[in-house]
Copies of this chain bind each other. A is one copy, B any other.
Amino acid sequence: MGGVNTVERERVPKQDRSRATRQRLLQAAVACLADHGWAGSTVLVVAERAGVSRGAAQHHFPTREDLFTAAVEYVAEERSTALRALFPHGAADRRAVVAALVDLYTGPLFRAALHLWVAASNEEQLRPRVTELEARVGRETHRIAVDLLRADERRPGVRETVQGLLDMARGLGLANLLTDDAARRERVVAQWAALLEETLG
């Protein structure tokens, strides 16, 4: 790629800095949502948490809705990538896959997403954005689950089996919201992984 002049050489680090700022804002936004909920999460609070000026935050994300939907999407994508990376050669052990899928719904990302969903159910400004985001993230998670579980969706019932498993994972995330539900969750995962094994063959 010859012909890079001085101006372009200087531009690259600036783009890097801008991208780093954006990422810091997105990560701070998810942490803020998880810790304080929607009511306690403003662009200013996130900017302070990220160590970024309010002006810079608003340059990247003009509205509060922009910031928080982008944040949940960004972290969801990061988690999807990490999940695929856990099983680079496909998964030999379906129980490990089920456990990893369920883990998607028990950390700060799920707590943040939950706050956003619940707020969207009462706020008309937020609702269409979050509905669309949830559908997109849900489709991607389903695709990963099908791949990692080596589920053949052409067979009747397989699609619904995987969907029900992801619904259960979401419900387990909810059960973990107020108390540490890890011990019970592990037993449920073991049992349902066994049911899944029988169904997927």
Contact = CB atoms under 8 A, between A and B. Distances in A.
A87 interface: no
A161 B192 CA distance: 7
A127 B178 contact: yes
Interface in A15-54: 35-37, 39-40
Given A172-B167, A174-B171, A178-B130, A37 B118 contact: yes
A73 to B, nearest CB: 15
A178 B37 contact: no
A151 interface: no
A94 B192 CA distance: 18
Contact of A163 (B127, B161, B184): B184
B122 A40 contact: yes
A160 B172 contact: no
A180 to B, nearest CB: 11
Contact of A131 (B119, B163, B178, B192): B178
Interface string A78-112: 00000000000000000000000000000000010
Interface string A161-192: 10110111111111101110000100110111
Given A171-B173, A171-B174, A198-B198, 9 more contacts: A36-B122, A37-B122, A114-B174, A160-B192, A163-B188, A164-B168, A167-B171, A167-B172, A171-B172
Query: What are the 5 tightest A-B residue pairs by CB atom distance, in nearest-first order?
Result: A171-B171, A170-B171, A167-B171, A160-B191, A168-B168
